[in-house]
Structure 1
Amino acid sequence: MEVSLNHPASNTTSTKNNNSAFFYFESCQPPSPALLLLCIAYTVVLIVGLFGNLSLIIIIFKKQRKAQNFTSILIANLSLSDTLVCVMCIHFTIIYTLMDHWIFGDTMCRLTSYVQSVSISVSIFSLVFTAVERYQLIVNPRGWKPSVTHAYWGITLIWLFSLLLSIPFFLSYHLTDEPFRNLSLPTDLYTHQVACVENWPSKKDRLLFTTSLFLLQYFVPLGFILICYLKIVICLRRRNAKVDKKKENEGRLNENKRINTMLISIVVTFGACWLPRISSMSSLTGIMRC
């Protein structure tokens, strides 16, 4: 049975029990200053994430109701998925890091990992739809133009696909005391404690799922987005090269540049920040690690 842990801590290899896929805790416990900094970082992310994302959603749907467009609605959807992570995942992770064992029950164990995967999927596919909209608007302005209605239909499809894609996370995570069975600690601090771990029938099943997830949730969408924006950049450069430009066209071109710069920054930041998490989810070791 392939088992892996959704846990911030890690350990050295166990030689006492060949059937165990876990490690000892003693040699890999984070020092107090590092743990404090980690908790402070999580807390800052939680506060800024909640305040920033909720503020953006309110601005888009309340103050700019008449100015809503395809892009603004998808950006609001991005903020909603990030807010979901703040509400459902971050504070559980902070407590899990501090306590070193899971206290929230089996349902929350499954749900936190599931919600995090759903959020990643919603974010990346929202960026894909946004890239398509920018491509149509700039490269193919006389073609199909995505509307606000299309945005809501797109969001519905994004959430349905993301919820289905992440189901294996909900099914595979469970509670177990296996990581604590062979601890050589002088106290019974971890007696009867459990960890929230990922449990697969075999390494082959885990490899198949994580590889598919990496392709569908990260590599293919980001590749598609980069191609769209590359074509957009080429198109804008060609338009800039034209000598005969009216002032109003030049203003519109500058506005498109500003929006594209913002969206490209979002994509680059998303790709850079989520790559470590995606890589850890796709890890083939299936064990607890630092």
Structure 2
Amino acid sequence: MEQANVSDSMGNNTDNCPSIDDFRNQVYSTSYSLITVLGFVGNGFALMVLIKTYRQSTPFHVYMMNLAMSDLLCVMTLPLRVLYYVRKGHWEQGDFLCRISSYFLYVNLYCSIYFMTAMSVTRFVAIVFPVQNLRLVTANRARLVCLGIWIFSSAASSPFLMSGQSKDPMTNKTKCFEPPKSESDRLPKLQGLNYFSLVIGFIMPFLTILICYAGIVRTLLSRTPAARRNQDSASKAIRMIVIVLLTFLISFMPYHIQRTMHLNFLSRKSTCSEQTLMQKSVVVTLCLAASNSCFDPMLYFFSGEGFRSRLSSLRQTVRSSAMRRASKLKPISNSESGKEADTI
């Protein structure tokens, strides 16, 4: 963070600013632990249901599966971050895992944004252009879109593989997941990367989603009251709009705004109070960004195309298979009891 020898309003140097390490370690370790548990249970359960009912594949189903896999990939790396902050900022897992953990967090972040955008576009076409939807939107095309999203997000996040663990000469601790210092030669590159990801990875998808939702709401409002009551797709669309917008407003928007402010902040002089506030905002908004993995299961259950019906069909399948196993055991038990009766 900022290391310039600048006096603050209290006459102290920023070199002597109070550390937020205790705040950071406590907030990160607690938040990432909760996100790991909630994200793993929610997305793992959703992925199990989606895989078991894969024969009922639709474009929305394909996007939900890929979103759940992306979230699981992210939450599986969070325990390494928890371990790092529980150890008071000391990394012992090696350089490779340090790079991979940072990389997967950002791959998940932008995969989630693009998968939500694709789901919003799919719902928009289904409601606004229902006739063309049957021809334009197919499961195979959705798979190609998902493949493109994975490739693009993985390639765009690759710069995070370039920086790994480092040694802190002051504490002799091995560091990972640390933000750049103001005098770092990586700062200009990170600022350029930030503006690229801000425009391509957040602003453009968010504008696309807003345009789609405006078209959906306009189409739904133009329908007759009787048609609105009878259309199940309308309620699904409204629920999806609410959940996706909440995810963007809570997880993605604060993080992208704060990250841009933080990188610009590092290139100028600042006071201790400004530095402390900025450092704490980094902690809070990064936790919010990682929490998107907890919002996605709500998207599957409340607005997923037939997700609850898939869950019901899975329950029926499990129940029927259990009954078949029980029926196979009954003749065996009856025959055995008959033999016992003969011997008596």
Q: Same fold, TM exceeding 0.5?
A: yes
Report what 2:325 is aligned to. none
Partners of 2:26 and 2:85 within 8 A in 1? no
Q: CA deviation at 1:93?
A: 1.6
Alignment of 1:96-175 (within 5 A): 96-99=84-87, 100-143=89-132, 144-171=135-162, 173-175=163-165
Cα distance in 2, alignment partners of residues 120 and 106 from structure 1: 22
Report what 1:228 is aligned to. 212
Report what 1:239 is aligned to. 223
Q: Is 1:210 aligned to residue 200 of structure 2?
A: no
Aligned match for 1:30, one of 22, 25, 39: 22
Aligned match for 1:268, one of 238, 241, 245: 245
Q: CA deviation at 1:238?
A: 0.1
**Which range is displaced more, 141-150 or 152-161?**
141-150
Q: CA deviation at 1:29?
A: 2.7
Aligned match for 1:57, one of 47, 52, 62: 47
- Which amino acid letter does the alignment assign opposite residue 244 of structure 2? V
Report what 1:7 is aligned to. none
Gaps of 5+ in 2: 7-13, 268-274, 281-344
Larger radius of gyration: 2
Cα distance in 2, alignment partners of residues 23 and 217 from structure 1: 35
Partners of 1:101 and 1:193 within 8 A in 2? yes
Relative to structure 1, is the Cα distance of residues 78 and 69 closer, same or farther in structure 2, using a 3 angstrom cutoff? same
Cα distance in 1, alignment partners of residues 113 and 174 from structure 2: 36
Relative to structure 1, is the Cα distance of residues 92 and 83 closer, same or farther in structure 2, using a 3 angstrom cutoff? same
- Which amino acid letter does the alignment assign opposite residue 19 of structure 2? S
Q: Is 1:78 aligned to residue 56 of structure 2?
A: no
Q: CA deviation at 1:102?
A: 2.0
Q: CA deviation at 1:84?
A: 0.8
Gaps of 5+ in 1: 5-11, 17-21, 183-189
Number of residues of Structure 1 aligned to a counterpart in Structure 2? 254
Deviation string, structure 1 residues 165-193 (Cα, Å, up to 9, x no partner): 1111112x23222xx434xxxxxxx3253
Cα distance in 2, alignment partners of residues 142 and 162 from structure 1: 32
Report what 2:79 is aligned to. 91
- Which amino acid letter does the alignment assign opposite residue 124 of structure 1? I
Q: CA deviation at 1:75?
A: 1.5
- Which amino acid letter does the alignment assign opposite residue 260 of structure 1? A
Q: CA deviation at 1:149?
A: 1.1
- Which amino acid letter does the alignment assign opposite residue 277 of structure 1? Y
Q: TM-score, normalised by structure 2?
A: 0.66
Relative to structure 1, is the Cα distance of residues 96 and 25 closer, same or farther in structure 2, using a 3 angstrom cutoff? farther
Cα distance in 2, alignment partners of residues 232 and 57 from structure 1: 28
Partners of 1:126 and 1:155 within 8 A in 2? yes
Cα distance in 1, alignment partners of residues 266 and 104 from structure 2: 20
Partners of 1:174 and 1:198 within 8 A in 2? no
Q: Is 1:256 aligned to residue 233 of structure 2?
A: yes
Report what 2:166 is aligned to. 176
- Which amino acid letter does the alignment assign opposite residue 172 of structure 2? T
